[in-house]
């Protein structure tokens, strides 16, 4: 029985000193939305009654976000709670329930290869939505799509 508990701890990150991959994913989604809205960690912390250090720990996945806090975050960041679990890779989702240590990303693999998590992407999206004229925004959108299609050929 002890071996099974140890295997489960390794698989989920509990008791290993490493954050649980699900907590890391949820934290990344908090950071993504906060950055898209242009909100500082301090301002987000104030809105939900925390210090910016606690927000940092949530965003790194070092501390778990409880259900009531996740609900508060969803309201402050104006997204459904499900947003924090969107785009979760299957190997991370499975790591919470399946005793398969191979499905966990190696320590230090932050997954920042995701283009949606890059600062450049976030700044581009924020700048796009600052364009007041919807017709200009639509033209920029169409131009971007057409440029991307020419790269694919």
Q: Is the pLDDT of residue 100 over 50?
A: no
Domain match, 85 and 150 both: no
The answer to the question of residue 137 being in a domain is yes
Q: What residue numbers bound the domain in which 139 lies?
A: 114-153
Q: Which regions of 3-148 does DSSP assign to beta strands (E)?
A: none
**For range 40-66, the mean pLDDT:** 95
Nearest alpha-carbon partner for 105 in 26, 29, 11, 14: 11
Of all residues in the chain, the percent with pLDDT exceeding 70 is 75
Q: Is the pLDDT of residue 86 over 80?
A: yes
Q: Which residues contact 54 (CB under 8 A, 6 or more apart)?
A: 45, 63
The answer to the question of residue 29 being in a domain is yes
Q: If DSSP codes are grouped into helix, strand and coil, which group holds residue 153?
A: coil
In Å, how far from its chain's centre is CA 124?
18
Q: What is the mean pLDDT of the chain?
A: 80
76 is written with which tokens? 């402050």
pLDDT value, residue 8: 43
The answer to the question of residue 80 being in a domain is yes
The answer to the question of residue 145 being in a domain is yes
Tell me whether residue 63 is exposed, middle or buried, using C-beta atoms within 10 angstroms of its C-beta: 0 to 12, 13 to 18, 19 or more.
Answer: middle
The answer to the question of residue 25 being in a domain is yes
Q: Which residues contact 8 (CB under 8 A, 6 or more apart)?
A: 14, 99
* Residue range 101-150, pLDDT digits in tens: 444 444 444 445 677 777 788 888 888 888 899 899 999 988 988 888 87
pLDDT value, residue 97: 56
Question: What gap in Å lies between CA 55 and CA 129, rounded to an integer?
Answer: 25
Question: What gap in Å lies between CA 84 and CA 63, rounded to an integer?
Answer: 15
Higher model confidence: residue 17 or residue 2? 17
Q: Cβ(49)–Cβ(43) under 8 Å? A: no
Domain match, 77 and 8 both: yes
In CATH, what number is assigned to the domain containing residue 34? 1.10.260.40
Q: If DSSP codes are grouped into helix, strand and coil, which group holds residue 62?
A: coil
pLDDT value, residue 59: 95
């Amino acid at each position: 029985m002890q071996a099974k508990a140890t295997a489960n701890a390794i698989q989920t990150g509990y008791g290993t000193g490493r954050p649980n991959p699900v907590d890391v994913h949820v934290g990344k989604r908090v950071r993504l939305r906060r950055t898209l809205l242009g909100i500082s960690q301090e301002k987000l912390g104030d809105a939900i009654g925390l210090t910016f250090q606690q927000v940092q720990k949530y965003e790194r996945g070092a501390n778990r976000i409880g259900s009531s806090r996740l609900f508060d975050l969803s309201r402050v960041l104006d997204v459904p709670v499900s947003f924090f679990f969107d785009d979760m890779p299957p190997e991370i989702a499975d790591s919470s329930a399946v005793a398969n240590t191979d499905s966990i990303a190696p320590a230090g693999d932050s997954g920042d290869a995701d283009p949606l998590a890059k600062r450049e992407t976030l700044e581009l999206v924020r700048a796009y939505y600052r364009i007041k004229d919807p017709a200009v925004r639509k033209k920029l959108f169409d131009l971007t799509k057409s440029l991307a299609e020419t790269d694919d050929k």
